[in-house]
């Protein structure tokens, strides 16, 4: 099946049912009890800094484990699985001095996911599986100063962030992803650099892929870390005509629900949500049981708020299985229809009729 055919099937499936995304990756790697040797393997045996915790490097050093996790999530009922490339930019990988491996990580991550997805599609052709190229946040921000004494200070420029994302999306595209997922967005300007990197692929004659954008509301204020409300965030990225817009991470289902409801009210595209398994406890662990997550997200689906559901921090294949079962047979949300207007945003949205 060609990529164009897969994209058409993805869009068709989204009209028929609520799609299921996979769950957390970090918690599943932690359960494996991996050692420094797993992260180094032969390629990085003499690397000058520790690599344990750099989960993306496992695409190169333990591809078997990465493939097994894709397999587990597809078996649990996921329609879409993300590549293990959340931090695979030169800026993020600089923490481990592995900038030179960025292209290889993304290419390997996409190919591992593609192979597993294609195997499931061959086995269950009535339920094709899809691969989302994971493009995570950076440890630097374009919208906020890195120095409280200097509001104009920035550690990076827009061009540097754009170049980092461009390297990533080129490799993910070559590796065979079906769509790009810009996720856990805390800074909308960083997100715009990623969007531009994706849209610019068409200028090089590369096949355009759907864009899925997922922001993060960091606390009860209902704003992203860079200060935008949900509606202001949507107004800022709507020009990309995304396949889906949504929220993930930071909050459990209870606290995320009003913000998803707001997106459902205003977005003229699909709405996605993949909350954490509740809020972390005093030990930084997540206590929400799979059936609790499934029950909460069933209510969202029942009220017509969502098109795509999955899990973020603390969720496991068992959480995804319960979510898939909980929303089976429920109709997907219909995109909102709003009167035409010029809708702009700073930290707040504003509209010119």
Counting every residue, how long is the chain?
353
Closest CA to 343 of 233, 243, 262: 233
Helices 230-237 and 253-266: crossing angle, nearest 10°?
Answer: 50
Place of tokens 């962030």: 161
The C-alpha atoms of residue 232 and residue 217 are separated, in whole angstroms, by: 12
Annotation-wise, does 312 bind a ligand? yes
Q: Spell 29-55 as b/e; 16+ CB within 10 A means b.
A: beeeebeeebbbeeebeebeeebeebb
Per the annotation, does 59 bind a ligand?
no
Best CA proximity match to 240, nearest among 199, 184, 187:
199
Rounded-to-integer distance, Cα 24 and Cα 17, Å: 22
**Residue 321: alpha-carbon gap to chain centroid:** 19
- Asked whether residue 191 is marked as a ligand-binding residue, the answer is no
Taking a C-beta distance cutoff of 8 angstroms, is the pair 311, 288 a contact?
no
Task: Tell me if 304 sits within 8 A of 331, measured CB to CB.
Answer: yes
- Say if residues 166 and 211 touch (Cβ distance below 8 Å): no
Binding residues for Zn(2+): 249, 312-313
Binding residues: 249, 312-313
């Amino acid at each position: 099946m060609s990529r164009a055919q897969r994209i058409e099937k993805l869009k068709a499936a989204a009209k028929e049912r609520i799609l299921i995304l996979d769950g957390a990756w970090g918690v599943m790697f932690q359960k494996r009890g991996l050692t420094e040797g797993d992260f180094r393997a032969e390629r990085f045996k003499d690397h000058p800094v520790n690599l344990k915790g750099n989960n993306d490097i496992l695409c190169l050093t333990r591809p078997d484990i990465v493939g097994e996790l894709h397999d587990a999530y597809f078996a649990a009922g996921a329609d879409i699985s993300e590549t293990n490339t959340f931090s695979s930019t030169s800026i993020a990988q600089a923490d481990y001095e592995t900038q030179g491996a960025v292209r290889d990580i993304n290419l390997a991550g996409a190919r591992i996911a593609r192979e597993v997805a294609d195997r499931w599609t061959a086995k269950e052709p009535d339920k094709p599986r899809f691969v989302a190229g994971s493009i995570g946040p950076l440890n630097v921000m374009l919208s906020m100063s890195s120095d409280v004494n200097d509001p104009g200070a920035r550690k990076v420029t827009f061009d540097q962030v754009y170049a980092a994302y461009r390297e990533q999306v080129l490799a993910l595209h070559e590796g065979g992803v079906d769509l790009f997922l810009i996720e856990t967005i805390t800074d909308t300007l960083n997100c715009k650099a990623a969007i531009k990197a994706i849209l610019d692929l068409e200028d090089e004659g590369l096949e355009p892929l759907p864009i899925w954008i997922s922001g993060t509301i960091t606390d009860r204020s209902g704003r992203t870390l860079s200060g935008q409300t949900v509606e202001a965030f949507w107004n800022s990225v709507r020009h990309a005509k995304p396949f889906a817009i949504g929220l993930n991470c930071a909050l459990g289902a209870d606290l995320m629900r009003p913000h998803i409801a707001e997106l459902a009210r205003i977005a003229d595209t699909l709405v996605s949500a993949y909350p954490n398994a509740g809020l972390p406890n005093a030990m930084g662990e997540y206590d929400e049981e799979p059936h609790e997550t499934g029950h909460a997200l069933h209510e969202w689906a029942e009220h017509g708020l969502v098109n795509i559901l999955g899990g973020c921090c603390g969720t496991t294949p068992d959480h995804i299985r319960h979510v898939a079962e909980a929303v089976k047979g429920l109709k997907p949300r219909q995109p909102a229809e709003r009167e035409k207007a010029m809708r702009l945003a700073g930290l707040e949205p504003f509209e010119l009729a």
